[in-house]
Chain A
Amino acid sequence: GNSVTQMEGPVTLSEEAFLTINCTYTATGYPSLFWYVQYPGEGLQLLLKATKADDKGSNKGFEATYRKETTSFHLEKGSVQVSDSAVYFCALSYSGNTPLVFGKGTRLSVIA
Chain B
Amino acid sequence: EAQVTQNPRYLITVTGKKLTVTCSQNMNHEYMSWYRQDPGLGLRQIYYSMNVEVTDKGDVPEGYKVSRKEKRNFPLILESPSPNQTSLYFCASSSTPGQGVETQYFGPGTRLLVL
Write the residues of chain A forming the contact surface with B, with a CB cutoff of 8 angstroms.
Answer: 32, 36, 42-46, 49, 51, 89, 93-97, 99-100, 102-105
Contacts and interface: CB of A to CB of B under 8 A. Distances in A.
Interface stretch (B14-22, B67-75, B77-85, B100-108): B100-108
Contacts of A49: 101, 103
Nearest to B9: A41
Contacts of B31: 97
A36 B35 CA distance: 14
Contacts of A36: 106
16 contacts: A43-B4, A43-B106, A43-B107, A44-B90, A44-B92, A44-B106, A46-B104, A94-B101, A95-B101, A97-B31, A97-B96, A97-B102, A99-B48, A100-B45, A102-B44, A105-B43
**Chain A at the B interface: mostly helix, strand, loop or mixed?**
loop
A105 B50 CA distance: 26
Interface of B: 4, 30-31, 33, 40-45, 48, 50, 58-59, 90, 92, 94, 96-97, 100-104, 106-109
Contacts, number: 54
Given A46-B103, A105-B42, 17 more contacts: A32-B101, A42-B108, A43-B107, A43-B108, A44-B43, A44-B92, A44-B106, A45-B106, A49-B101, A95-B100, A95-B101, A97-B30, A97-B102, A99-B59, A100-B45, A104-B40, A104-B42
Contacts of A95: 97, 100-101
Contacts of A51: 100-101
A58 to B, nearest CB: 15
